[in-house]
């Protein structure tokens, strides 16, 4: 079974990155971000920051 975590990208980008890193350490298979477009950060910038870690 695969497990995913879905993050709302409203927090400071550093916190979002740390949550994604923690999810990976905990064994989650995927990290998703809401792409709402109004109240959240740009998902491509946020995912790039996560991928750098």
For residue range 20-44, list pLDDT tens digits in order: 999 999 999 999 998 877 777 888 9
Contact criterion met (CB below 8 Å) for 3 and 27? yes
Q: Is the backbone of residue 50 left (phi > 0), alpha (psi -120 to 50) or beta?
A: alpha
Residue 4 confidence (pLDDT): 95
Contact criterion met (CB below 8 Å) for 4 and 32? yes
Average of per-residue pLDDT across 10-18: 92
Residue 15 confidence (pLDDT): 94
Contact criterion met (CB below 8 Å) for 27 and 15? no
Give per-residue burial for 13-45: e unless 16+ CB within 10 Å, then b.
eeebbeebeebeeeeeeebebeeeeeebbebee
């Amino acid at each position: 079974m695969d497990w995913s975590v879905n993050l709302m990208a409203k927090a400071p980008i550093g916190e979002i990155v740390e949550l994604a890193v923690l999810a990976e350490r905990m064994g989650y298979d995927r990290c998703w971000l809401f792409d709402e477009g109004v109240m959240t950060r740009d998902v491509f910038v946020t995912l790039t920051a996560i991928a750098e870690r």
